[in-house]
Structure 1
Amino acid sequence: MRSLHTWIEQRLSNAQAVICLSLAMTLLCLLLPATTLAQQTPIPDSAAAAAAFQTPSRIRTIQVVGNQRVEANTVASYLLFAPGDPYSEDRIDLSLKTLYATGLFADVVIDPRDGNVLIQVIENPIINRVIFEGNKSLKTDKINDEISAEPRSLFTRAQVQEDVQRIIELYRQSGRFGATVEPKVVEQPQNRVDLIFEISEGPVTGIKRINFIGNAEYSDRKLRKEIATTESIWWKFFSSNDNYDPGRLEFDREQLRTFYTNRGFADFRVVSAVAELTPDQENFYVTFTLDEGGEYRWGDISVETELEALNKNFLKRLVNIQEGEVFNSSQIETAIDNLNFAAGTSGYAFVDIQQDLRLDRETKTVDLVFNVVEGPRVYIEKIDIVGNTTTLDYVIRRELELVEGDAFNRILLDRSRNRVRALRFFEDVEIVETQGSSPDRAVVEVRVKEQPTGELSFSAGFSSADAFLVDLSITQRNLRGRGQLLRFVIRASSNRREIDARFTEPRFLGRNLAGSVELFDVVIDFLEEAGFRSTRTGGQIGLAFPLTQNTSLSTRYSLRSESIEFPQENECDAVLASSLNNSLSAQNTQLLSLCQQVGGRLSSIVGYTFGWDRRNDPITPTGGFDFRFSQDVAGVGGDVRYLRTDVRGNYYKGLFPGVIATAGLSGGYIRGWSGDPVQVNDRYFKGNQDFRGFDNAGIGPRVVNFVAETGSTLIPTASGGVDGRQQALGGNLFALAAAEVSFPVGLPQLLGSLFVEAGTVGLLDEDFQYNIIVDPGTSGLQSGASCDGVTASGVICQRTVDSLSPRVTAGASIFWESPFGPIRFDFAKPLVKQSFDDRQSFQFTTRTRF
């Protein structure tokens, strides 16, 4: 009846509606029996009841009651009707659903009444606190990161149940399948609640046994080493992989597939991976059912393309797969990467490389066809930077090799990601692309996660070489979010004390030019090793800029005041006077070279460095190389004249996941010019950190006492007995080579490495070499005279050994990221050495930060 009445009102005038309604009611009364009317038409007891039954034609007012925090206007904004609108049951029903969907209300009632709509709401409470009880194995912070409930958020029962399931899943991932979670609510004033999760963790569910069915080629023991899941053994208390995790089981399936397909089994598959819980609910039995298939070899390998700039024969040479070799699926991905790179360098940024594997089960061969076709062209519509709360947008954008409007290029995007990561401002950098406004448009989103770039630290440590280390530094690598570097450092050890302040602007004058200013005061203490102490005070300015994608050039100018000190410098006046009178004693001969260098001098140095970096990752490279060549010329003014040339290169190769091989070469040569020899504080002193197995300044030219063998008619040589080792003198040339393989050792935060190192230091200027008699014995020879031509036996001769003899060491290192700071242990054994070298078989280094 209401629907009929409403339909009539909407289509006829008021007079017509009254007439038609009266006629319809009269006709209905005549046709229906009286008893039926009496049963179907209730007789209202009062006028009020009749009024309540009447459906309003229009909404006159809206009233909201029951709201406490949510404003009435906010509630009304969710409604699909307003005062003055025609009454509609559909609109009221949709408004009711909309209010529920906001999540603000636990209950909503809409009463239309006679056009004065009454909306009664009961608001969801606000969570005051979230409390966890009974969690011992999982930290509260870790659980909080997984659930959505948090203080000052809305409480809904549906959301709480979802959080309960998340917590249970978290415990299952940690191996506790018997964990239960019971949520409880404690009401507080002002419609607030405390949400309590009562957790019963239950026992740790381990892996009792891992079984394999169907494996004929490889043993169970071998396959267990290839998967992440491990069996529970009492001594594996640092491992968490011996807990059952369904997600890890899926990963294991993929690991097995990769293992077999990399060894020729092209049609291998894991039929099933089943985990069965023991009756005591404490352990699982995991069973993998395998279908190994047969061993395949590569058959015909070909590359097809219709792109004009690409040559099929050239592309096929990039596919490093040989016919007849054992099938290896990993070679396919490598080949696709090579083909993509070749197409990109030839101008095809959009290629689609389709692979067609054809298995011949009779001949056990796999034919492979790569079809290189040009893909659809896509252009970058927009680049969004997300997650940079501190770093300004333009600092990130200037590292990108693409801008809006450029053609989409995956290779350039990968390079851009590496460039942004190389800033070291972000913990994580991810570049994703999504569909733009049309199929040929893409939106690129650069997602970054900021990490602290400011640092106020005090470090203290100890090493077997430097004894103690103290480091106080204030560093901001991203000053004001503009990418600028500001650093102030005070550093001290037993051999070195340094104060250094530096500022670097990476985009000097708005160009791709890094400008830097540095002030320093450095004291190098070699009193024990070489008998002198050197002080350098000054400053340096520099400019650096890229030459190509992978090469760069930096220039610098340094002006510094230098001085040399040693304990016997008060004897220098007498020593220099004796030298002029040719009355220098043997003991004073050793002081002469130092006395000639003592005092202050001004060094004015111009230099440059050429860098070539082809590493695949700027932080943890697993492939590629880096190379540096630098030269410094002293003598553009000042008191010192020399040319120094240094070169260093490293090559990186990932052998297996987590196993990285590194090979390095380094060398240097310094030579005075305009008649100036190379002073002692400018020479190379190597050992310790530079050359493991030897002490600081442990190799290179050195003053040594030799004793002639009885009856010898020759001057003392290295074949004579070594009586005493004296000062290290440093060298004008050094060359070092190293090969190292680093690998995980199976325990968290631990890495190991094996290394071999070889090197030499020498070519000291003749002005600073000794060859004098220090003890003539009974021969009647004069002390301080030259050893040349001496034929008497028993004479002790002091001279400089400078033969560029190679040294070789081998050893192992252990790196531990301990809670107290990084710790490193080096064990080295000199394989080739000289008897007068300072050796060091064990080295320990640690440092912590407060």
Structure 2
Amino acid sequence: MARGFSAGTSCMGGAKRSNILFRNVSAVALSVALGLASFPNFVSAQSFQFDNVRVEGNQRIQTSTIVSYTGLEQGKAVSAGELNDAYQRILDSGVFETVDLVPSGNTLVIKVTEFPTISQIAFEGNRRIKDDALRDIVESSPRRVFNPETAERDANLIAELYSARGRIASQVTPRIIRRSDNRVDLVFEISEGDTTEVERVSFVGNRQFSDRRLRRVLETKQANFLRTFINRDTLVQDRLEFDKQVLRDFYQSRGYVDFRVNSANAELTPERDGVFLVVDVTEGQQFKFGNVSVVSEIPEADADAYQRVLRVKPGVVYNPALVDAEMTKLERLAVRQGIDFVRVEPRIVRNDRDLSLDLEFALVRGPRIFVERIDIEGNTTTLDRVIRQRFRTVEGDPYNPREIRESADRIRALGFFSEANVDVREGSSDDQVIVDVDVTEQPTGSLSIGGAFSAEDGIGVVLGLSENNFLGRGQRLSLNLSTAEENQEYSLRFTEPRLLGRELQLDLDFGLATSDSSFASYDTERLFFSPAVTFALNEYSRLSLRYRWDDTELQSRGVDSLGNPVSGPVISSEIAQGAQTASSVGFTYTFDSRLEEIDPTRSFLFEVGAEYAGLGGDSEFLRTSARIVAQKKIFNEEVTLRATVEAGAFQWQGGGFSRTTDRYLLGPDQLRGFDPGGIGPRDVSSVGGTTYSDALGGNYFAVARLDAEFPLGLPEEIGLRGALFYDIGNVWGLDNVDTAGANIVGGGNGSYRQVVGFSLLWTTALGPLRFNFSKPISSEDFDEERNFDLTLQARF
């Protein structure tokens, strides 16, 4: 049976607590009173004098130690107050459960009961958190003296751990079970309680952005019927602090330099099973950049040369991240010019009248400090060089605090470590520093099993096995198997992110893809191998150079009941060519403004590429393509406008004929409202009384897509948004094709098809769902239309 004490602990202010009280002050007062009544001469003198001190009840603590706690001198007069102080000093030693001071003539008798020793510690009622995790946070431990105050602190720590996991109504009660030889078992009785859901998140003081827009910024979400899959609707203090920071970042990146979070209060619902989270903010005014200039306090640094590399222009909405990016750019320019120890100081002048910030970048000479060495600890699997490659600074280089901070961010971005701390300390001399890197590794391999569905390929299983830190070298190795009903692909990819220790990424792809699509009268089988090297041209641009070898074969599905082939004349001619190999080289240039987010409300992507086949193999052609995407958020970022333009050209340059798999076939992801290959030239032939309609693709294509995404006025936690779209596109051109005996429709330039539609965008825990309802308003009679399309890809 448990005896001794109990302590209930919770994280709510209104939760009741039981105090652990072993100090019996009334007992000593009674003892002193009885002693005084027995010796009236002491009472009249109000003092005591003890020639002897006797200690009773101690087992582990020596008598001399206890006597020393009193601070009393034998044979010297002692007042009642001094006697009480002696009692308190013994009690404050923290090793006694009870203390009694009993005067007996000229002898002071000290009766003590020592705190027991903890035999073992147990946890009861915990299902969500394992015993080992709880033992790691408590101070009490077996074979140590039991202390009720320590036990109560342990109970608080356990309750705080549950609170951090969203169970703020949890209660922890420490109890002791008495054993022989003055030992006890310490048991923490835990009532975990239910997770406390965030029923509603609302804001006070926001005028520029709606509650719905701000809720999308926060990591904390409102409770909804999908909460089983996304446990982000519980109130977690650490997550709440993170939300405050991302909210500040959101506003400041949009020019609200005076923004602040006044408070974030959570109020219990009447049923006490949830909370209402209210965030009080002050937005302030939006500021833009005013005059932007560079001044130099270093003779060899020409301010005009540095001014020319700035991208920030007056009138642009102020963004601290953009200022930091410009400072980094200026410091790197100084390094390229061979000027060491250059520091860039941003000097800002505030103009409240026109709500602008004049920005002056001052080039100043920093202290002459060098990096003595870089020490790395904690990496047991990851090679040192993988971490060192994240530094642009090496031993002996001038010390640049900004570069060290960016290196720390790059180390964390690897994803190899659960913790990565980079600190700087003084080196062997005043002009030397040592950079300490302390990391904690985490698993980097993963096995993913998922499902995929699309109207083109049907339902399938996706299996992926990947290792992002292969052999501790920072390399990535992945194996993917996709087994949809109509398309199967088995691929192996290897990535070396820093080829030859440089900013070069090497990708090696090898795989086999087969297709038995219901939208074609033939099957395909393709074996491919493709190495590629990608590198950055600047902070926004990337260039990828690649080689591709593939072996593609169109396969017949046999003959019908009358012995006729199940394909038209053009496809039958292409099947007769057998397997054809292509050996090609190509490039892709990409400019993406999202790589350095200048304006979070708008983004721009430009991509152009070309591929030439003819380095051996059976095919010789030139294929070029381009894509432009522009996006803008309007109405306080509630509505997203997006425009996409794509185009491509294919020129057959070899002998013989090109094949359908070489030419352009548009799918629903490029032009909505039509089946895969639903527009463009077709072979509409009748063989043995059966009519075949095979898409042949085209040598040229052009597509434009316009989208407008907007909220539907539904609760944000449902994750539903709407979209309107307009698509226009065409596929045309059919040169170098064996058309003997075929009836080709749409073989000329064709017409531009136009489609309008509405989409439901549903963000779920299983992945993004898009429901497209479309209606072609301009098409050809032979086109294959599609009025509904659903795309789902799930990983779990």
TM-score (ref. length: structure 2): 0.64
Say whether residues 1:734 and 2:704 are aligned partners.
no
Decide whether aligned partners of structure 1 residues 275 and 127 sit closer, same or farther in structure 2, where only a CA change above 3 A counts. same
Q: Is 2:632 the partner of 1:643?
A: no
C-alpha distance after superposition, 1:296-346 (max 9, x if no partner): 988985757343522499489865455xxxxx9x72626633652453354
**Match of 1:56?**
none
> Could you tell me whether the CA contact under 8 Å between 1:564 and 1:681 is conserved in 2?
no
- What CA distance in whole angstroms lies between the structure 2 residues aligned with 1:743 and 1:386? 49
Q: CA deviation at 1:824?
A: 1.9
> Of 303, 307, 312, which aligns to 1:310?
303
Is the 2:751–2:779 contact (alpha carbons within 8 Å) kept by the matching residues of 1?
no
How far apart, CA to CA, are the structure 2 residues paired with 1:553 and 1:206?
46
Rounded Cα–Cα distance in structure 1 between residues aligned with 2:203 and 2:533: 59
Q: From 165, 183, 191, give the equivalent of 2:174.
A: 183
Q: Choose the corresponding residue for 2:663, options 683, 699, 703.
A: 683
Deviations 1:570-626 (A, max 9, x none): 999x99xxxxxxxxxxx99x425523542423414021324446565599x968666
Q: Deviations over 1:379-437 (max 9, x none)?
A: 444445566454322223224333233334466557656765775x4376866443433
Q: Is the 8 A contact 2:377 2:438 kept in 1?
A: yes
User: Deviation at 1:648?
Assistant: 4.5
Amino acid at match of 2:702: A
Deviates more, 1:279-288 or 1:693-702: 279-288
Higher relative CO (Cα under 8 Å, sequence separation at least 6) belongs to: 2
Structure 2 vs 1, CA of residues 606 and 275 (structure 1 numbering), >3 Å: closer, same or farther?
A: closer
What's 2:774 paired with?
Answer: 829
Paired letter, 2:460 = L
- 3-state DSSP of counterpart to 1:331: coil
State whether residues 302 and 316 of structure 1, in contact with CA within 8 Å, keep that contact through their aligned partners in structure 2.
Answer: no
Alpha-carbon shift at residue 496 of structure 1 (Å)? 1.7
Amino acid in structure 2 at the alignment position of 1:198:
I
Would you say the 8 A contact 1:492–1:498 is kept in 2? yes
Total equivalences in the alignment:
667
Aligned match of 1:199: 191
Q: Which has the larger radius of gyration?
A: 1
Q: 1:546 aligns with which of 530, 535, 540?
A: 535
Conserved in 1, the CA contact under 8 Å of 2:289 and 2:314? no
> Within 5 Å, which residues of 2 pair with 1:123-162?
125=118, 129-133=122-126, 139-140=128-129, 144=133, 148-149=137-138, 157=147, 160-162=151-153
Q: Distance in 2 between matches of 1:511 and 1:208?
A: 50
Find the residue that maps to 2:156 and give its secondary structure: helix
Q: Deviations over 1:634-677 (max 9, x none)?
A: 33333322222344455677887899876654443322113433
Q: Among residues 493, 505, 520, which one is paired with 1:530 in the alignment?
A: 520
Partner Cα separation in structure 1 for residue 477 and residue 648 of structure 2: 30
Partner-residue secondary structure (3-state), 2:318:
helix
Over 3 Å counting, the alpha-carbon distance change for 1:699 and 1:171 in structure 2 is same
Equivalence for 1:353: 346
1:538-585 per-residue CA deviation (whole Å, 9 max, x = no partner) reads x5252525364553443325253634424349999x99xxxxxxxxxx
Please give the per-residue CA displacement for 1:730-754, whole angstroms capped at 9, x wherever unaligned: 1222334446677998655947574
Work out whether residues 634 and 641 of structure 1, in 8 Å CA contact, stay in contact via their aligned partners in 2: yes
Equivalent positions of 1:732-811 (< 5 A) are: 732-738=699-705, 747=716, 750=719, 752=721, 754=723, 756=725, 758=727, 760-766=729-735, 768=737, 800=747, 802-803=749-750, 805-811=752-758
State the Cα deviation string for residues 698-717 of structure 1 (Å, max 9, x = none).
232224699xxxxxxxxxxx
Q: Quick one: percent identity of the two aligned structures?
A: 21
1:376 corresponds to 2:366 = yes
For residue 382 of structure 2, give the secondary structure of its aligned residue in structure 1: coil
Contact 1:508–1:515 (CA under 8 A) maintained in structure 2: yes
Q: Is the 8 A contact 1:662 1:740 kept in 2?
A: yes
Judged with a 3 Å threshold, the aligned counterparts in structure 2 of structure 1 residues 472 and 172 are, in CA distance, closer, same or farther, namely: closer
Asked if structure 2 preserves the Cα contact closer than 8 Å seen for 1:460 and 1:469, the reply is: yes
Which residue of 572, 587, 598 maps to 1:594?
Answer: 572
1:471 to 1:688, Cα distance in 2 relative to 1, 3 A: same
Aligned mate of 2:651, from 664, 668, 671 = 671
Q: What is the deviation of 1:467?
A: 1.5
For 1:233 and 1:561, the matched residues in 2 are separated by: 51
Q: Which amino acid aligns with 2:733?
A: L
Please say if residues 229 and 244 of structure 1, whose CA atoms lie closer than 8 Å, have aligned partners that are also in contact: no
Distance 1:753 1:499 in 2: 35
Instruction: Go from structure 1 to structure 2 and tell me whether the alpha carbon gap of 1:701 and 1:449 turns closer, same or farther (over 3 Å shift).
Output: farther
1:89 aligned residue: none
Instruction: Please state whether the residue corresponding to 1:343 is helix, strand or coil.
Output: helix
Partner of 1:605: 583
CA distance in 2, matches of 1:766, 1:261: 52
Q: Which amino acid aligns with 2:467?
A: Q
Structure 1 residues 748-780: Cα deviation after superposition (integer angstroms, max 9, x where no partner):
5947574746453523324548799xxxxxxxx
Q: 2:616 & 2:479 partners in 1: Cα distance?
A: 29
* Closer, same or farther: CA 615–379 of 1 in aligned 2, 3 Å: farther
Residue deviations 1:444-480 (CA, integer Å, cap 9, x gap):
4556665544344443443333222133444334322
CA distance in 1, matches of 2:543, 2:180: 66
Contact 1:175 1:204 in 2 (8 A): yes
Conservation of the 8 A alpha-carbon contact between 1:302 and 1:369: yes
Residue among 765, 786, 795 paired with 1:840: 786
Alignment of 1:168-247 (within 5 A): 168-169=159-160, 180-185=171-176, 193=185, 195-199=187-191, 201=193
- For 1:205 and 1:596, locate their aligned partners in 2 and report how far apart those are by CA, in whole Å: 62
CA drift of 1:352 comes to 2.0
What is the alpha-carbon distance in structure 2 between the residues aligned to residue 40 and residue 144 of structure 1? 54
Q: Verify the 8 A CA contact 1:146 1:166 in the aligned structure 2.
A: no
The answer for the alignment partner of 2:338 in structure 1 is none
Judge conservation of contact 2:118–2:141 (CA < 8 Å) in 1.
no
Kept in 2: contact 1:740–1:753 (CA 8 A): no
CA distance in 2, matches of 1:249, 1:754: 33
| Range moving further from structure 2, 334-343 or 480-489 | 334-343
In structure 2, relative to structure 1, the CA distance for the partners of 1:333 and 1:280 (3 Å cut) is: same
Q: For 2:282 and 2:481, locate their aligned partners in 1 and report how far apart those are by CA, in whole Å.
A: 64
CA displacement at 1:148 relative to structure 2: 0.8
In the TM superposition, what is the alpha-carbon distance from 1:265 to its structure 2 partner?
A: 10
Q: Could you say if the C-alpha distance between residues 735 and 189 of structure 1 is closer, same or farther in structure 2, counting changes exceeding 3 Å?
A: farther
Q: Distance in 2 between matches of 1:477 and 1:280?
A: 47
